[in-house]
Amino acid sequence: MATIEAGGGHGRRRVDQEIPLVPFVDLLLCCLMFLLVTAVWARLGSMHASTPGGSDAPSTSERRELIVTITNDEVRVASTLGDEASVRVSDTGLDVVGMSSALARHRIEDGGPVPVRLLPDDDVDAALLVSTMDALRGEGFVELGFPSAVGG
């Protein structure tokens, strides 16, 4: 307990108060632990996504790239080599098994993850976009990007 002495004396009544500090310290430590835990969760739950750098010059080394077009009816997975697969979207959401098989085929053909360009329609449901990104991340495709509006 801490005591705040406000004076008194000379015939006046004492107005000293005792403040319990233990609950204040407990509250402070609880807030600190909450912030530390949520900072770790935010770091673990984040996903790196980028836009192209704005350079119009073609790259010197042509890398294979997946282009994922997302509409409310289907998710189309195509590569820059011309092969394409389509996964239907039902009322319950994305067909995760079909999406995984389409993505696994591309990963196996290349021997490892390749960059992915996401092209969602303007009216695509956010839950569909997130589930598509989760499926990509689950199959090992970690280099996700959205093309810029200017560069295409």
Instruction: Estimate the crossing angle of helix 126-138 against helix 96-110, to 10 degrees.
Output: 40
- pLDDT at res. 31: 95
Confirm whether 152 is domain-assigned. Answer: no
Residue written as token pair 């989760």: 134
Cα 92 from Cα 95, distance rounded (Å): 9
- Asked if residue 80 lies in contact with residue 117, where contact means CB atoms within 8 angstroms, the answer is no
Number of residues that this document lists for the chain: 152
Confirm whether 120 is domain-assigned. Answer: yes
Asked if residue 115 and residue 74 are part of one domain, the reply reads yes
Alpha helix ranges (H) inside 45-80: none
Confirm whether 9 is domain-assigned. Answer: yes
Confirm whether 150 is domain-assigned. Answer: no
Nearest to 99 by CA among 107, 91, 25, 34: 107
48-59 pLDDT, tens digit each? 666 665 444 444
Domain holding 104: CATH number? 3.30.420.270
106-138 pLDDT, tens digit each? 765 555 567 888 889 888 888 888 888 888 888
Beta bridge partner(s), residue 139: none
- Count structural domains, the chain: 2
Question: 13 lies in which domain range?
Answer: 2-44
Least confident of 73-77, 92-96, 113-117: 113-117
